[in-house]
Amino acid sequence: MSFVLAILLFLGIGAAAALHALWGLGSTWPEASEEALAHSVVGDGRRRMPPAWQCFTVASLLAILALWPFVMLGRGEDPVVLAGSFAIAGLFVVRGFAGYSPRWRGWFPGEPFATRDRRYYSPFCLLMGVGYLALLAGEMERQ
C-alpha cells in the first residue's frame, strides 16, 4: 500500500512541478493569456507571471518533493528521512491552512486566485500533507 501512496504523491506533486516548468518556458496554459494566468495562480494583483527562473526554482523544489516518497519507502525510522518527511508534510499542511486565513486573504485577494485557492489549491496542499503523514505512518509501522 505504501508504494501506491508514494506513486499518488509523486503524480500529484509531479504534475504541479510540470506546470511550473511549463510556465517557466512561457506557456500560459490553462489560461489564454499571461495576465489571466497571473490572476489565476498568483493572486496578488500582478499582470505578469513571475520570471522564468522563479518558475523553474519552484518546479525544481516540487520535483524534489515529488520524489521524496520513494526516499521514504523502507526508511521510515531513519532520522534524516523522518525529519525531512515531517518537514515536507508540515510545509504542505501549513500552506493548506494558510489559504483559509484572513492574513493570507489580505496578501492574495485577487480573483480568480482567491476562489480557486479555497476550492482547489489549499485542499490539494492539505491532501498532500496528509498523504505524506500517512505514508510515514505506514513506513514506521513496517519497521
3-class secondary structure per residue, the chain: CHHHHHHHHHHHHHHHHHHHHHHHCCCCCCCCCHHHHHHHHCCCCCCCCCCHHHHHHHHHHHHHHHHHHHHHCCCCCCHHHHHHHHHHHHHHHHHHHHCCCHHHHHHCCCCCHHHHHHHHHHHHHHHHHHHHHHHHHHHHHHC
Number of domains in the chain: 1
Instruction: For 1-18, write each residue's pLDDT tens digit.
Output: 899 999 999 999 999 999
- Give the structural domain span for 32: 2-142
Instruction: For 79-109, write each residue's pLDDT tens digit.
Output: 999 999 999 999 999 999 999 999 999 999 9
pTM for the model stands at: 0.94
Amino acid 100: pLDDT:
97
Tally of CB atoms within 10 A around 102: 7
The Cα–Cα gap between 116 and 119 comes to: 5
Nearest to 131 by CA among 97, 100, 99, 88: 88
Amino acid 143: pLDDT:
65
